[in-house]
Amino acid sequence: MDKASLGKAGEDFACERLREKGYTVTERNFHSRRGEIDIIAEDESTIAFVEVKARSKKSVSMPRESVDKTKQRKIILTAVMYLQTHPVQKSPRFDVFEVWHDERGIYKFCHIKNAFDLSVLGGEYELF
């Protein structure tokens, strides 16, 4: 499976699991000039900005390791842009959804809630 197909399958799987947990998926692949968010999902009190990372069984690193500080900053700033045009009265949260594939399909996943927060921005930005 090529990288794009692996990523799409991972996002599809993550959406299914989120829906099973009671979330409504409101956006997929939201783009702004700051970056992209794979999935935006809401439950009664939370809006979750979810980064999906899929890896093959042969990968030597954990999927979450690729969501470094630079990627986190891009996701947060993209979420701010999303919230400016889609205001909600819900608490924002930043998650990472890991998916592992082998030749038969997805065999393991991990939904990491609150994987990172605004502290990655430091004092550099004032969000309001």
Q: What is the pTM of this model?
A: 0.88
- Band (pLDDT 50/70/90 cuts) for residue 60 is low
The answer to whether residue 65 scores a pLDDT higher than 80 is: no
Residue 105 has a pLDDT of 75
**Tell me: the pLDDT tens digits for 67-119?**
899 999 999 999 999 999 999 999 999 999 999 887 787 778 999 999 998 88
Q: Is the confidence at residue 30, as pLDDT, over 90?
A: yes
Higher local confidence (pLDDT), 107 or 20: 20
49 neighbors 35 (Cβ within 8 angstroms): no
Buried b (16+ CB within 10 A) or exposed e, 31-54: ebebbebbbbbbeeeebbbbbbbb
Amino acid in the structure at residue 63: P
**pLDDT over 70 (residue 124):** no
